[in-house]
Amino acid sequence: MSDLLERMRGRGWRMTSQRRVVAEVLEGEHVHLTADEVHARAAQRLPEISRAAVYNILGELVLLGEVVEVSVHGRAKRYDPNAHHPHQHLVCSGCGTIRDVHPTGDPLAGLPQEERFGFTVSEVEVTYRGLCPPCVSGPSHV
């Protein structure tokens, strides 16, 4: 059973076939699918699932804190089920591929006290950007 599915059941969330299939689609490492990608994969397993149902389920999962919306400038929102494990993202500026990364050290160490302007910082989000190997090599090497 997937980690997300276990968390949903642990909350006592009624497991409809639609909710189950969305959780199954979001299973795995480095999963950062758009809502349309979730719908397409869910429809392969459960043909009657509607796009609206997928959007509603994703919205509920985000509100519950079980899935994180990842916004990448100029691209569709993606959904990350790795909500309970601290991590950052590595994003390809070419194709939009997203990978979870786990840098070591305190991310607040790079923010000097005088640059915090009196804020009590509770969360840090870091996004690393660059080009993935296929984008570096370009279309002529594919």
99 and 72 together in one domain: no
Residue 15 CB contacts under 8 Å (≥ 6 apart), including other chains: 5, 8, 9
126 and 106 together in one domain: yes
36 vs 46: CA distance, rounded Å: 15
54 and 120 together in one domain: no
Domain that holds residue 95: 88-141
The CATH code of the domain that includes 132 is: 3.30.1490.190
How many other C-beta atoms are found inside a 10 Å radius of the C-beta of residue 30?
A: 13
Secondary structure element (H or E) that encloses residue 90, with its range: strand 88-92
Write out the chain's pLDDT in tens, 142 residues: 468 888 888 888 888 999 999 999 998 777 899 999 999 999 999 999 999 999 999 999 999 999 999 887 778 899 998 888 888 899 998 888 899 898 888 877 778 888 889 998 888 888 899 999 999 987 654 4
Of 47, 80, 113, the position where a domain reaches its end is 80
Question: What total number of domains does the chain contain?
Answer: 2
Residue 51 CB contacts under 8 Å (≥ 6 apart), including other chains: 35, 36, 39
pTM for this prediction = 0.79
Contact by Cβ (8 Å): 66, 8: yes
11 and 64 together in one domain: yes
23 and 61 together in one domain: yes
The CATH code of the domain that includes 33 is: 1.10.10.10
15 and 70 together in one domain: yes
